[in-house]
Homo-oligomer: A and B are copies of this chain.
Amino acid sequence: VTTEPTIAWRDGALELIDQTRLPAELVSLRLTAVPDVIDAIKRLAVRGAPAIGVAGAYGVALAAAADDPRTDPGAFRAAVAALRSARPTAVNLARMVDRVAAAAEAAAAPGAGTGAAGSPADAALAEAHRVRDEEREASRAMGERGADLVLDLVGRTPVRAMTICNTGGLATVERGTALAVIQTLHERGVLAEAIAMETRPLLQGARLTAWELGRMGAPHRLAVDGAGPFLLARGAADVVLIGADRVAANGDTANKIGSYSLALGAARAGVPFLVVAPESTVDVATASGADIEIEDRGPAEVVAWGGVATAPPGTAAVNPAFDVTPVDLITALVTDRRVVRFDQGHTLT
């Protein structure tokens, strides 16, 4: 959908669409140093679990170029550790950072010489490119597989789909996860409407998903988050599609705050509730949702919007950025490699 990719590597720099500026402006950031990548991740200039993973991967490439692990392994590893912990909830970041760091370390190992992988920096960049290419291919596969499943579950067309947060091209490299399914339905001519939840506090649904749906020409309406379960109760959507920041071994899924509320509403209304996420988001090392760390992003995001205060000065807030949907509320998980029908008793492992 986005005519320029969300994340690109160009002339030794990581280029990112600055998502904090959308929908008002389409502006790219050019990042050449690890602290800038960490800052972009922390302030959500780049967001969405797969996109954060790719940004982290390129961040390691920048780290290996700045601090060669052969000559300054301490500095390289410190940069990797800092990248790895820029955000805690999405598993993709740690996983992709570790993967690219391992490629750099392997190239730096005493016997590695100057083999096919080249220098640690070259090896890291090559691995980061592979991460990017795999995410791009995963989006396409999820879109196709998810659209097939939606049509199978809903059993009639056209389909009305509800989603939350932004899981489109902006959250990945291209096309996305849950929104890739909606895009595929639209491209197949069977999408009646997408209802995008606005996704407080940072309004990724209003700012980003509405923008992407507009660009793909898909019919859509926006709704406040609190309206989701009621709209489902009144039959406004045939399916709910969400992305994921981490899927635990038992299928419990961490995703943007508000997802669990939609899952409760979908279960009550008998509407299928699908999680769409690449295999890189599945974390079998996390047993269940109870073990997932949930980031609290502090009160500032809640008590003001666009510089306008929404609450009296000094109001405290509790601001969990994610919630956990228990697997019993999830109809199925769609990944780039498989469909796991939790509703039929299937399991991830």
Which residues of A approach B to under 8 Å, CB–CB? Answer: 23-24, 164, 195, 197-201, 203, 206-207, 210-211, 214, 220-231, 233, 236, 256-261, 264-265, 268, 299, 302-303, 305-312, 315-320, 323-324
Contacts and interface: CB of A to CB of B under 8 A. Distances in A.
8 contacts: A198-B311, A203-B311, A207-B311, A210-B311, A221-B315, A226-B257, A226-B323, A233-B260
Give the most central of A226, A257, A306, A323: most B CB within 10 Å.
Answer: A226
Give the most central of A24, A195, A227, A299: most B CB within 10 Å.
Answer: A227
A324 B226 CA distance: 12
B224 A319 contact: yes
A307 B310 contact: no
A226 B227 CA distance: 10
Given A222-B302, A306-B306, A318-B236, A227 B323 contact: yes
A178 to B, nearest CB: 16
A224 B206 CA distance: 15
Contacts of A225: 200, 224-226, 258
A163 B305 CA distance: 22
A134 B293 CA distance: 50
Given A23-B309, A164-B226, A200-B224, 16 more contacts: A195-B318, A203-B310, A206-B302, A206-B310, A207-B310, A221-B317, A223-B302, A223-B319, A227-B320, A230-B260, A230-B320, A233-B260, A236-B318, A264-B264, A305-B305, A305-B308
Contacts of A233: 260, 323-324
A318 B265 contact: no
A223 B225 CA distance: 12
Given A264-B229, A306-B306, A306-B308, A316 B220 contact: yes
Nearest to A305: B305
Contacts of A198: 200, 302, 310-311
Contacts of A200: 198, 200, 224-226
A311 B260 contact: no
A197 B264 CA distance: 18
Contacts of A210: 311-312, 315
A320 B309 CA distance: 24
Given A233-B260, A309-B24, A310-B207, A222 B268 contact: no
A216 to B, nearest CB: 13
Contact of A317 (B223, B256, B316): B223
A315 B211 CA distance: 9
Contacts of A264: 229, 261, 264-265, 268
Nearest to A256: B226
B316 A221 contact: yes
